[in-house]
Amino acid sequence: MTDHETATSGNAPTGDETMTSGETPADRNATTGGETMTDPDTILVTGATGNTGSRLVPRLAALGHPVRAAGRRAPELPGAQGVAFDWYDPATHDAALRGAARLYLVPPTAAPDPAAVMLPFLERARSAGVRRVALLSSSAIPAGGPGVGQVHAALPDLFDAWAVLRPSWFMQNFTDRHPHAESIRTSGVLLTATGAGRVGFIDADDIAAVAAHALTDEPPLRGADLVLTGPQSLSYDDIAATLTALGGRPVRHRSLTYDQLHDRLAADMPAGFATLLAGLDRAIADGAEDRVTDTVERVTGRPPRSFREFAAARWGT
């Protein structure tokens, strides 16, 4: 099984609101009477304790931006103000948005229809004065695609300055709380239905670096669709070989069929979500993720980290 920071399915219609008289989304964010309650430098980071958010918060703070770190329990992170935020509790939304003019969006984890949850929040964000948005999506989901792809498609009607980060699979899948990492720790085995398919695995720190630029660069990115990968396209056999060489214990890749993986997943999650995740593995086997982009270097000015560098920093001696 493979996994981005979030995996989403389902769909929802994009907003069909229109603009008149040359009005821009930014114009619609202005409050009446010329007053504004937002600080143009304040950034709200949702998913602030996740793989990318936890790396983004200190970057933004180091750049001198006031940061509001959002999470269900108002996370305490250095350089940030913790705020309570729950995608499924609209009563937390206005307080989290208060004063923010920029927004980093991490979709709710495993939501069957993220657009249904996120689009009402984005309408509130626009009304509250948010003018710039960076959305975390997935290399597997284009604008208008399922799940968060519907949110991607709606952004042009909501904000003037926006960027969508579409990373490939995270290198942290092999080190953190992901099932791959647990399987490596307990049995030294990677179980996937990816066959010999290859992936441009990316370090979450590189994603956070791009997000920081998307939220702070001037002039702002407007309508950027950023497919993010590491510097190499690797198979899971390649990953296992690198982990074996650097981790001090054998790791092997065991290839499953689509049906075998689906049945294993369905034992622990709703059938529809198991179908989605198994389908992503099958897409990798078919070559959907076998690509490398120069986006990280183009946006940040430095090349992305290789998986060998990532693994050496984690396990190398």
Give the chain's domains with CATH numbers.
25-168+203-227+292-300 (3.40.50.720)
- Predicted pLDDT of residue 31: 38
Give Cα 36 to chain centroid, integer Å.
30
pLDDT one-digit tens code per residue, 265-294: 999 888 888 898 899 999 999 999 999 999
pLDDT one-digit tens code per residue, 38-95: 678 999 999 999 999 999 999 999 999 999 999 999 999 999 999 999 999 999 999 9
pLDDT one-digit tens code per residue, 174-230: 998 888 999 999 999 999 999 999 999 999 999 999 999 999 999 988 899 999 999
Q: Which residues of 117-144 are buried (b: 16+ CB within 10 A; e: fewer)?
A: bbbebbeebbebbbbbbbbbbbbbbbbe
Say whether pLDDT at 35 is over 50: no
What is the average pLDDT value for the chain, to the nearest integer? 88
- Predicted pLDDT of residue 231: 98
Whole-angstrom Cα distance, residue 281 to residue 266? 15
